[in-house]
Chains A and B, each alone.
Chain A
Amino acid sequence: MNNKKKLVMIGNGMAGVRAIEEILNANPDMFEITIFGAEKYPNYNRIMLSPVLAGDTTIEDIILNEEQWYADNDITLHLGKRIKEIQRGYKKVIAEDGTEAEYDKLIIATGSNPFIIPIPGHDKKGVMAFRDIDDCDAMVEAAKTYKKAAVIGGGLLGLEAAKGLLHLGMETTVIHDQATLMNMQLDTVAGAMLRSELEAQGMAFKTSTLTTEVLGDERVTGLKFKDGTTLDCDLLIMAVGIRPNMALAKDSGLFCNRGIVVNDYMQTVTDPAVYTVGECAEHRGIAYGLVAPLFEQAKILAYMITGQGLKTYEGSVVSTKLKISGVDVFSAGDFMGTPGADIIELMDKVGGVYKKIILEDDKIKGLVMFGDTADGPTFFQWMQDRKDISEQRSTMLFAASGLGDAGHSGIDLAASMADQTVVCGCNGVSKKDVVDSIVKGGLTTRKEITACTKAAGSCGGCAGLVDQILASTLGTAFVESEHDPMCGCTELNHEQVKKQIKNKKLTMVREVMSVLDWKSEGCHVCRPAINYYIGMLWPQDSEDDRTSRIANEKMHANIQKDGTFSVIPRIYGGETTPDELIHIGKIAKKYAIPTVKITGGQRIDLLGVKKEDLTAIWKDLDMPCGYAYGKALRTVKTCVGSNWCRFGTQDSTSLGIHLEKQLDRIWFPAKVKLAVSGCPRNCAEATIKDFGIVGVEGGWEISTGGNGGVHVVVTELLCIVKTAEEVEQVAKAYLQHYRETGRHNERCAPWQKRVGLERIKALVVDDLDNRKALIERLDLYLAQQEKDPWVARIEDAKKDGLKIFSEYTPIDIPVRVES
């Protein structure tokens, strides 16, 4: 106990406390730690003061280390005590109230002071900076009485302050001495786009304007500018920059220049017992004002002070992101480019997207992005890696935008990102760090990831990206993870809803929503899910709720981009006959079908059918509905197999046709595709299907959980069986198990990943009683589904006594010419 060294830290802010955390990580027992903080709050996320002001979060939510954390780590914390003197000779510090502390090692982390331009009147009431919680409170208070605010400084901080004041209901004008907003980070084009976006949000601007005087008696009433004009205001925020807070250090004889000068170990060059970290430090001539480099410094400091070895701080390249909701800006490096520089640019004025990349020898030197900044971190990483981008240059500015809703949608960006790409710039967390924490720590929420890696814990700009990585790592398991509610309409997650439907025997969608206290009338996410669970759990006692089906499933046809529909009848196993083809051809002619296409699923698609023709065409076709639109069995793809093929070992076609007939008319959590190949040459591509079957000499190889869509997933071997009957048994059991435990909109591939192949194998292959029980439940369900949905719709339409009624038919009202 007593042999612990005494470590004292002045300043209880972001960089300092991070250094302490790193020290505790490296060696929790080395020091007896004392911290002095001039503010009365424990360490909070200063960056998030802007969102607090803008009403997007609260002070409680931005506290990073509760007082309990200090206690848990045996840290003596002196809040609200400002150090007024460092006596390096006696190795002690003295606070304004007389409190003293001795040290073996001292860390100075006093941050910086906002710069107040010393123009006449700058000390009037109502003139303030934006730096801490007290400033934030003061602005909120002022906005209750005063209505006109001015912000001097059109940089990051000034704009965020102005946005906050607008939110507080104040009329807000930003005064900037340059012509371009955020001119330290943006070129004129991006600056102008930013300006018009912010103007649209209600912010007013005076650019290229120097303020010469603050007007008013005791309190500010206005500003006077160099050109002689004036502006009325009763609150003035100065956001023109910061100055490292180094007076204390200077007075104690530590060498200071722009900041307190440190070496590559974050030790002051004057006194090896004294370290400095954060905005107050000057390293190789630079004092940083963003947290990313400061956190890097904190790490290096911890290495050094705990004797972990000599890692050095080499300085940082920084990138900038503006935290105003609805305005996406990203900038890094040399964003202007010298005249004649190699620049690639994308400009979409209407869409409000601008991207510019400055290159030198095919390497990124700088970038500016506005409107769509999703790829910013990737490009920034390429810039730091000095990656040769000659191959990407023609396509890199077209972002990988969202693909369809495939049961694991929106994860393309994260998935395609390289492992070492830094996701969280503030905390230097790479994609690999995040993935590792998910995989090794079994994490399922962003909160847990932040707690574990700090990603998304500072400016929050990467929160979306972290979510995407989570999603792509866990598959759909994330989208509906244990902790996440189904959607915004409820607090309950899929499993809880399913359980309640079962335990309470709820058999109607509306009943579920009212019994389980839904917050609204349900949406396109929860209602189709509830409808599915009800039908799966209570096949005999429930009726399908068509109002809870999305357009395709409600209409039993695929809606097209022009509002017409497509009709795909079943062609079992992809095997047809001349008569069938002639029949389809005749109907296509009769209805003047604009496009007839062979689908990728071995059948025929009639595209461009008018809604009012649907029932008629189904009737004329007189073929089973192909369910090409639904969360149902799609196709069972087959190859010719042993009937014709010289390599065929098994009759894949017959088995495929049989399976398709057996598994028809079943609703699943998501669409289900099967394939049967007659030999391992696998012409039916069975190994990228939800359930794939490959004939081998003397048996069938069954592999499952594949997917050929957005992310290709190859199946995993489930088992090898001898007979076609056994294939059918295993298929039914596997799919019923999927129906019972899959979450709505979760395809087999992510489901199998989530629940685990071994477990599925145990329940479906090894446990024969359970296999039997699963098949019985599926058969029970199938018994209720005997009617083809197209036939059912035709009958409904007929049944309806009303002359013109069919929801498939529009009501035509002739135009009456008014006299």
Chain B
Amino acid sequence: MTKATENWIEICSLDEIPPSQARTVNIGNASIAVFRLSDDRIKALENRCPHKNGPLAEGIISGDDVLCPLHNWRIHLEDGQVAAPDQGCVKTYSTKIEHGIVFLDLE
């Protein structure tokens, strides 16, 4: 379900995010990790691991999860949940791609 257009913020074109990797997006005080999955879906998380603030954008992507680069916590890109045995949750942001442009919803 798409939200009203005014909440969407244009980020970059899809090509500017390397395949199966991520880019850091800074908006105001928020640092957001925007991931491009192997099938070109886009997911966005707050760029801060709940463990010790690891920058998630540098993590290795495994399926629909990202592994934090500092101590390998596994975080689900869809809902931001940390996989057991670790615990925690990362804020997620809605994303969409229109005509090859990536949008984020900050709400």
Which residues on A are within 8 Å of B, measured CB to CB? 326, 510, 520-524, 527-528, 546-552, 554-555, 559, 561-563, 611, 802, 804-805, 807, 810-813, 815-816, 818
CB of A815 within 8 A of CB of B23, answer: no
B-side contacts of A555, CB under 8 Å: 58
Also in contact, A550 and B60, with CB within 8 A (given A561-B52, A802-B16, A811-B11): yes
A-side contacts of B63, CB under 8 Å: 520-522
A-side contacts of B26, CB under 8 Å: 810-813
Residue B21, interface by CB 8 Å: yes
Q: Which residue of B lies closest to A802 (CB)?
A: B16
CB of A811 within 8 A of CB of B72, answer: no
The 5 closest A-B pairs by CB, nearest first: A551-B69, A547-B20, A815-B28, A521-B63, A810-B24
8 A–B contact pairs at CB < 8 A?
A523-B62, A547-B61, A551-B59, A559-B58, A805-B15, A805-B16, A811-B26, A813-B9
Residue B5, interface by CB 8 Å: no
Q: How far is the CB of B25 from chain A (nearest CB, A)?
A: 5
CB of A547 within 8 A of CB of B21, answer: yes
B-side contacts of A818, CB under 8 Å: 6
Residue B27, interface by CB 8 Å: yes
Q: How far is the CB of A798 from chain B (nearest CB, A)?
A: 15
Residue B2, interface by CB 8 Å: no
CB of A547 within 8 A of CB of B27, answer: no
Also in contact, A554 and B58, with CB within 8 A (given A559-B70, A813-B27): yes
CB of B67 within 8 A of CB of A524, answer: yes
CB of B25 within 8 A of CB of A527, answer: no
Q: Return the contact of A522 from the options B16, B54, B62, B72 (Cβ within 8 A).
A: B62
Q: How far is the CB of A347 from chain B (nearest CB, A)?
A: 21
Residue B101, interface by CB 8 Å: no
Also in contact, A527 and B12, with CB within 8 A (given A550-B69, A812-B26): no
CB of B69 within 8 A of CB of A559, answer: yes
Q: How far is the CB of B46 from chain A (nearest CB, A)?
A: 13
B-side contacts of A548, CB under 8 Å: 60
Q: How far is the CA of A522 from the CA of B64 in the complex (A)?
A: 11
Q: Which residue of A lies closest to B49 (CB)?
A: A563
CB of B60 within 8 A of CB of A563, answer: no
CB of B59 within 8 A of CB of A811, answer: no
A-side contacts of B72, CB under 8 Å: 524
Q: Taking each of B16, B67, B72, which has the highest tally of chain A beta carbons within 10 Å of its own beta carbon?
A: B16
Q: How far is the CA of A326 from the CA of B23 in the complex (A)?
A: 36
CB of A551 within 8 A of CB of B58, answer: yes
A-side contacts of B60, CB under 8 Å: 523-524, 527-528, 547-551, 554
A-side contacts of B38, CB under 8 Å: 510, 521
Q: How far is the CA of A611 from the CA of B20 in the complex (A)?
A: 19
Also in contact, A807 and B54, with CB within 8 A (given A547-B60, A813-B26): no
Q: How far is the CA of A549 from the CA of B9 in the complex (A)?
A: 31
Q: How far is the CA of A510 from the CA of B24 in the complex (A)?
A: 25
Q: How far is the CB of A263 from chain B (nearest CB, A)?
A: 48
CB of B23 within 8 A of CB of A811, answer: yes
Residue B88, interface by CB 8 Å: no
Q: How far is the CB of A450 from chain B (nearest CB, A)?
A: 23
Q: How far is the CA of A522 from the CA of B69 in the complex (A)?
A: 16
CB of A561 within 8 A of CB of B62, answer: no
Taking CB atoms and an 8 Å cut-off, the chain B residues in 1-40 that contact chain A are 6, 9, 11-12, 15-16, 18-21, 23-28, 31, 34, 38
- B45-78 CB contact bits vs A (8 Å, 1 = yes)? 0000000111100111111000101101000000
CB of A807 within 8 A of CB of B18, answer: yes
Q: How far is the CA of A813 from the CA of B69 in the complex (A)?
A: 24
Q: Which residue of A lies closest to B19 (CB)?
A: A547
- B80-96 CB contact bits vs A (8 Å, 1 = yes)? 00000100000000000
Given A551-B69, A563-B53, A810-B26, 6 additional A-B pairs, CB 8 A: A510-B38, A521-B63, A523-B62, A563-B54, A810-B24, A811-B24
Q: How far is the CB of B17 from chain A (nearest CB, A)?
A: 8
Q: How far is the CB of A631 from chain B (nearest CB, A)?
A: 14
Q: How far is the CB of B13 from chain A (nearest CB, A)?
A: 8
Q: Which residue of A lies closest to B7 (CB)?
A: A818
CB of B16 within 8 A of CB of A520, answer: no
Q: How far is the CA of A550 from the CA of B24 in the complex (A)?
A: 17
Q: How far is the CA of A628 from the CA of B18 in the complex (A)?
A: 25
Q: How far is the CA of A563 from the CA of B60 in the complex (A)?
A: 15
Q: How far is the CA of A239 from the CA of B23 in the complex (A)?
A: 57
Q: How far is the CB of A816 from chain B (nearest CB, A)?
A: 8
Q: How far is the CA of A604 from the CA of B12 in the complex (A)?
A: 37
